[in-house]
Amino acid sequence: MAVPQDKEALLGLIDASFEKLAAALASIPEALARERSLPGHAKDTQMSPCDLVAYLVGWNELVLKWLERDTAGHPIDFPETGFKWNELGKLAQKFYRDHEDVAFPQLLQRLDAAKGAIVAAIA
């Protein structure tokens, strides 16, 4: 995938990619959303579709946190407070835990809202 060269290209790529992702996620029956059927983000782990969406929500909301802190002139702990770049598998597990009690439809709504906020920040 080519790196977008301007804002319009980036926004177009985000919209096209998100549309495909949203369609794929919408096709998952809610009854199967907690089934650990996918390779996890940490070595030798499995994740569910809910975990995948929790991971995406976690990263999107983390990017929004970075933007908010930067705008406010506050330092940013990259990638997240308490985690180093070589601990992204542990961060993924945290995202799963943070959202384990959120129903699949609500996770999808949060992902859509976070994507909308990122698009608004870019635009």
Q: What is the pTM of this model?
A: 0.90
Q: Which residue has the higher pLDDT, 66 or 5?
A: 66
Give the orientation angle of helix 88-98 with respect to helix 49-71, to 10 degrees: 100
Distances from the Cα of 26 to the Cα of 10, 20, 53, 54, 94, angstroms: 24, 10, 11, 15, 24
- For the stretch 18-52, pLDDT in tens is 999 999 999 999 999 999 998 888 788 889 999 99
Instruction: Please state the φ and ψ torsions of residue 46, each to the nearest 5 degrees.
Output: -120, 150
Q: Tell me the residue ranges of DSSP E strands in 52-95.
A: none
Name the CATH superfamily for 37-122.
dinb family like domain (1.20.120.450)
Q: Which residues of 26-48 are buried (b: 16+ CB within 10 A; e: fewer)?
A: eebeeeebeeeeeebbbeeeebb
- For the stretch 60-96, pLDDT in tens is 999 999 999 999 999 999 999 999 999 999 999 999 9
Q: Any idea where the domains of the chain sit in the sequence? A: 37-122
